[in-house]
Amino acid sequence: MAGFWGRRKREEEALTAQDADLARRAEQALVAADERIRTTSDELVFAQAELGDSLTSDLKAALDAVRTHLREAFQLHQLNHDEIPDTVEELRTRNARIVQLCDWAENLLDEKTGVLAETIAKVRRAPEIVAQVRKDAQALEARIPQARETIARLSSRYAETAMRRIASSGDEAAQLIAFATHGADVSERRREAKQNEEANLALETATEAVRRAGAMLDAVEDFEIQALRAESTLADVVADSRGDIVAARTAPQTPEVRAATSALESALAALAPTGTLNDPFAELTELRSANSALDEVIAKAQYRAQNPLPSLAQVQHALDDADRQLGVARGLIAGHRGWIGADARTRLAEAERLRVDVPAMLPAEDTREQALSASRRIAQLASEALQLAQRDIDSARPQTQGWGGDGWGGGGRRGGMGGGDIVGGVLGGLVIGSILDGIFD
């Protein structure tokens, strides 16, 4: 008993210490939150002077929300120290709520001041960014004549369909560079007018225009390498396709193989003659597609030649056999419901579930093998269910040796068949008879 009261006292002391720590945390959180509101308000004033009201509206709204919700925290703190006595549970609940509100306020102000700090840094770095935009635009502008020369040279070698991706890249890059320079000028004018939001927007637009112009000019330089690589790959694919056409003549000549071979021959015939403008990208894509289609149908035809498709008669025969075994198992289990365990009933349920899906597999040739496999699986599950059910019946049958002593009136096994043997023999005969009738029906 002393141990119980000692443990109870220690638990109460620990709970009291936790409540005291929670109260101390609540007071510290209130002081910290109040100080954070004051410092954030000062930061907001300076930010509004530097950025304007539009870029600081999010922080102002967050600060107003924090002030509104912290009024509740201060009211709860006041209730903790008024003249009305409070229970321990009330104090604990109020202090926990105070800590929760203060943590929320700190997190919200951290998030908004972080975003504002990035905006301020961007505004302060604006002259540096504008100078970089002008420098990049000047460097890109010097590349435009070379890009136009490259486009003209490639246009004499490749078809118009291949050149569409870069045909106007030089002119578009020049427009983007001019737009970027104009955006930098607008950003400087807006910043001098203290319109920082518009200045930032113009600067971001100019930076993006420079990036896009550089990407276009890089694409012109990369196009020639990509086209040469495509031509080299196209030559390899042409050689491979011709070998596949020769191999297709020895493959099983199914309608699919003949059609795919004809499509590949047409794709080879459609290639641009040597010395004419061509589109290596489109030709490579079309030839690869025809080549892959031929490989696929040849593999399918060879597999079918090695694994002939079962006929509908074979599948139907297997399904009829499965139905017979399923019927026998279903009848035996239905006739001995109280004797059959979960294993036999589970096998039967799985077999019946598979049986429902088989008719949908029969018409299509692609699923006929699945239908045959499913039919055999149904027969196997039904056979397992039948064996398990018979085992359950045998184990549940009474195992007495005779009625009223030894044998029939005292004979037991020496005098003749006992009563238990008679019942077991009758039941066994009925079960075996039903099984045989179902199988050989």
HEC per residue, 115-171: HHHHHHHHHHCHHHHHHHHHHHHHHHHHHHHHHHHHHHHHHCCECHHHHCCCCCHHH
Cα 285 to chain center, whole Å?
Answer: 29
**Helix boundaries (H) for 168-254:** 169-192, 196-248
- How many C-beta neighbours within 10 Å does residue 275 have? 6
Those residues whose C-beta lies under 8 Å from the C-beta of residue 257, and which sit 6 or more positions away, are 248, 251, 294, 297, 298, 301
**Amino acid (1-letter code) at residue 298:** I
Task: Give strand ranges (E) for 319-436.
Answer: none
Low-confidence residues of the chain, pLDDT below 70? 1-15, 398-441
CA–CA distance, 321 with 314 (Å, rounded to integer): 11
Phi first, then psi, for residue 270 (nearest 5°) are -80, -5
Q: Which residues of 27-59 are buried (b: 16+ CB within 10 A; e: fewer)?
A: eebbeebeebeeebeebbeebbeebbeebbeeb
Predicted local confidence at residue 218, as pLDDT: 93
pLDDT score of 415: 36
Please report where in the chains the tokens 């203290």 appear, as a residue. 194
pLDDT for res 180: 93
DSSP letter for 402, please. Answer: -
Contact (CB, 8 A) for 95 and 23: yes
Domain boundaries, the chain: 18-124, 231-306, 309-396, 400-441
